[in-house]
Amino acid sequence: MNCTTPEEMIIMLIGQNRGTHNFIDKSRLIELALENGIEDVSDKMYKKDIAVALAEKIGYAELAKLASVGVSSLELQKKFGITNAEVKKMADGGFITVVGTESFRMYGKTCRANLYSPYDYFKSEEEVINWLVEHSRRGKRHDR
């Protein structure tokens, strides 16, 4: 992903055309905007523009929560050079946050994969590696 901030990523993910797997529909965005006192929204506006106006009003973190916007395990693996097992371990340990799931088809079955917070994607590589080293099994065995 070529975003420089979590806020930019949230808007980009909301604006993506993912067919039936969009994070949030344009109509729901308009509905949320009207509920929060933003009157100058219409169906003619781009989805990204509505999302930005709404985020300025309620905050990017709240918008991400309402839209269940998240990053896949694969994106985290590519960025930090880690495995899926390590991503799951960080989620189980509370280091990163699961914000929702997305469905995909594999071998003729519908499966669900966790989505992780866009804010976790922007943690430093050093921070992630240090957490994994501190919570490795090998380290605990050597302490005995």
CB 26 within 8 A of CB 9: no
Query: Is the CB of residue 122 less than 8 Å from the CB of residue 6?
Result: yes
- C-alpha 21/C-alpha 27 separation (Å) is 15
Q: Which pLDDT does position 130 carry in this prediction?
A: 92
What's the pLDDT tens digit per position in 19-67? 888 888 888 888 888 888 888 888 888 888 888 888 888 988 898 898 8
pLDDT at position 143 is: 47
Q: Which of 44, 20, 24 is nearest to 32 (CA)?
A: 24
pLDDT at site 138:
63
Task: DSSP for the chain, please give it.
Answer: ---SSHHHHHHHHHH---GGG-SS-HHHHHHHHHHTT--S--TTS-HHHHHHHHHHHH-HHHHHHHHT--EEHHHHHHHHT--HHHHHHHHHTTSS-EEEEEEEEETTEEEEEEEE-HHHHTS-HHHHHHHHHHT-HHHHHHH-
Report pLDDT for 17.
Answer: 83
The pLDDT value recorded for residue 41 is: 82
Per-residue pLDDT tens over the stretch 82-138? 999 999 999 999 999 999 898 888 999 999 999 999 999 999 999 999 999 998 876
pTM of the model: 0.82
pLDDT, tens digit (0-9, with 9 covering 90-100), for 15-27: 888 888 888 888 8
pLDDT value of residue 128: 92
